[in-house]
Amino acid sequence: MSAPIAIIINNTKKQEMDASFGLAGIDIIKEVNRIPAAEIVLTDNKQDAERFPISNSGFFDPGQCIEIKLRYADGNELEKTVFKGIVLRHHIKGGPQGTLLTVELKDPAFKLTTTRKSAVYLNKTDTEIVSDIVKEARNDEKKNGIVPATIAAPNITAGIKLYQHKEIVRYYCTDWDFMLSRTDSNGLLTITEDGEISVTEMPDFNLPQKHTFELGVAPPVFDFEMETNFKQQYGTVQSTAWDIKTQKIIMPKKARDFKIRQAKKLDPESISNAVGGYGYELRQSGEAEEKELQAWADAKMAKSRMAMVRGRIKTTGNAAYKVGDIIKIARVSDMFDEKTMISGVRHTVSPETGWQTHVQFGLSPHWFSRNEDIADTPAAGLLPPVNGLQIAVVDKFEINDQYRVKVRVPVLGDEPVWARLGQADAGDKRGVFLRPEPGDEVILGFFNDDPRQPVILGSLYSAGKHKIPGDFTVDKDNTTKGLVTKNGVKLHIDEKKGACTVT
């Protein structure tokens, strides 16, 4: 194969890169459920009066829209676009061997990852929510003078049938993270290509493959790495949630089996039994629609099956390989010879190796929502957070203009802190008012996990120091209710007698 020719265009300035710019390498990565990225490395080491001429040219200034096209010098085919993105990082380094300029680019969809937002969506499906989010991002570009928009209209595969949420809440997360969390939980794939975000179903392996990789047959396989991993294989998957109407666990929804075209030696059900994965249960302690539970279970099963065989193949450079394409592997091993899906594509260009394409297949079994940076930093990152509830003891009485109560938190030492007082009902000149006494043991929660923002959630009885009032009993009938103040004023309810007395 002849040497590759790279054509790099600044679409912002409508200008092609000067041929004198020394291209040292290109690295492009596209992967399902991820933002495509690229890196361009150039030699910028002229030693004349103008230092760093490429860096100073403005061609790769941050924010510029760059397009990368590739072709072979002796080929009859025209160059193909392999990447479009925005310059985010402009890095130079130098030494005795000269200087290098490294330019990092991201697909325009990167704009969906920059800002955290909150929202409430009513009577919409998840794909409708994705469409709304992408359309809003396009409108934001236009409002800020970016015309034409770099983010394309959303591409939702026709025929996807999802349930409609009566209400779904989005709390302080990026557009991208919310979209991916929702599509992933429905077993859908999100594929981004040159600013266009596509949402599609898991592959149908009954369809013909677009590419075949067969050892010893063109296209050549330079090297490869493949594995079968049975840790996440399950015979069945089912999901459950709480039904607030019946006050019972909803009857588990069993996942439909996801049909892959596994190699001869791989039978998911027998393998799952062999490794102890007889069944996997997804639990939601809150309520959930039955259709949502079904989609959740189906998604987990599909991800499990798609994770059974994973790997990569390195071959000659070719822009035809696309994320989501069905491929077939042949003449490798009875463990791997079958159809699979391209989950990632990497194009590398260098003077030493020319243009090579790495094809990745298989999916991660883990949910997208496991990524650490989806949720905001606890306590807003203002200080180290406090985890969970804490025990506190009410300190001596002091007046506070916000009705706060001074408490001592054992794990904080002897210095008391002020805590807000929670009540069953509180409003303007009305509500329940029960202020704890000094020495009472109370439960503290913390707003946004901020240790400076404690709130008293309730008080605790104990067998030793804080016993229940004498006129009350603890028994299986649980018929004694009431209220007793420290001076003995009582509201006593006896459900057996049907009596309520105040003394």
Structural domain contains residue 52: yes
- Looking at the fold, whether 16 and 85 belong to one and the same domain comes out as yes
> Pick from 86, 106, 126: which residue ends a domain?
106
What pLDDT is attached to residue 46? 63
pLDDT score of 238 more than 90: yes
Residue 359 CB partners (closer than 8 Å, separation 6+): 211, 213, 312, 313, 314, 315, 321, 327, 342, 344, 345
Q: For residue 153, what is the domain's CATH number?
A: 3.55.50.10
- Looking at the fold, whether 91 and 122 belong to one and the same domain comes out as no
What value does the mean pLDDT of the chain take?
92
- Looking at the fold, whether 80 and 116 belong to one and the same domain comes out as no
Q: Looking at 250-254, 355-359, 393-397, 468-472, which range is the least confident one? A: 468-472
What pLDDT is attached to residue 254? 95
Structural domain contains residue 175: yes
- Looking at the fold, whether 96 and 114 belong to one and the same domain comes out as no
Q: For residue 424, what is the domain's CATH number?
A: 2.40.50.230
Nearest to 418 by CA among 380, 381, 444: 444
Structural domain contains residue 397: yes
Question: 206: which DSSP letter?
Answer: T
Give the count of beta carbons closer than 10 Å to the beta carbon of residue 277: 20
Structural domain contains residue 219: no
d(CA 264, CA 423): 64
What pLDDT is attached to residue 97? 74
Tracing tokens 């193909």 back to the chain, one arrives at 80
- Looking at the fold, whether 179 and 269 belong to one and the same domain comes out as no
What pLDDT is attached to residue 74? 83
pLDDT score of 388 more than 70: yes
- Looking at the fold, whether 239 and 264 belong to one and the same domain comes out as yes
Nearest to 214 by CA among 310, 330, 328, 297: 330
CA distances from 150 to 109, 125, 134, 231, 267 (A): 8, 26, 11, 41, 45
Q: For residue 50, what is the domain's CATH number?
A: 2.30.300.10
- Looking at the fold, whether 99 and 116 belong to one and the same domain comes out as no
pLDDT score of 442 more than 60: yes
Structural domain contains residue 54: yes
Structural domain contains residue 394: yes
What pLDDT is attached to residue 190? 97
Domain that holds residue 261: 230-305
Q: What are phi and psi of 451, to 5 degrees?
A: -65, -10
Q: How many CA atoms lie within 13 A of 330 on its CB side?
A: 12
Tell me the average pLDDT across 70-77: 85
Structural domain contains residue 34: yes
Q: Which pairs count as long-range contacts for 267-276, CB under 8 Å and 24+ apart, including other chains?
A: 268/233, 268/304, 268/305, 268/308, 269/235, 271/230, 271/233, 271/308, 272/230, 272/233, 272/234, 272/235, 273/235, 274/230, 275/230, 275/231, 275/233
Tokens of 459: 């008080």
- Are the CB atoms for 301 and 237 separated by under 8 Å? yes
d(CA 203, CA 6): 32
pLDDT band at 48, cuts 50/70/90? low
| Domains in the chain, number | 4
- Looking at the fold, whether 142 and 72 belong to one and the same domain comes out as no
> Pick from 106, 125, 143: which residue ends a domain?
106
- Are the CB atoms for 394 and 439 separated by under 8 Å? yes
Tell me the average pLDDT across 138-164: 88
- Tell how strand 279-284 and strand 236-243 pair up: parallel
d(CA 438, CA 454): 17
- Looking at the fold, whether 96 and 144 belong to one and the same domain comes out as no
Q: What are phi and psi of 133, to 5 degrees?
A: -65, -45
d(CA 173, CA 113): 9
Tell me the average pLDDT across 255-271: 79
- Looking at the fold, whether 115 and 102 belong to one and the same domain comes out as no
Structural domain contains residue 481: no
Q: What are phi and psi of 312, to 5 degrees?
A: -150, 155
- Looking at the fold, whether 56 and 123 belong to one and the same domain comes out as no
- Looking at the fold, whether 403 and 389 belong to one and the same domain comes out as yes
Tell me the average pLDDT across 470-491: 89
- Are the CB atoms for 263 and 336 separated by under 8 Å? yes
> Pick from 305, 335, 352: which residue ends a domain?
305
d(CA 217, CA 326): 18
Nearest to 201 by CA among 60, 324, 112: 324
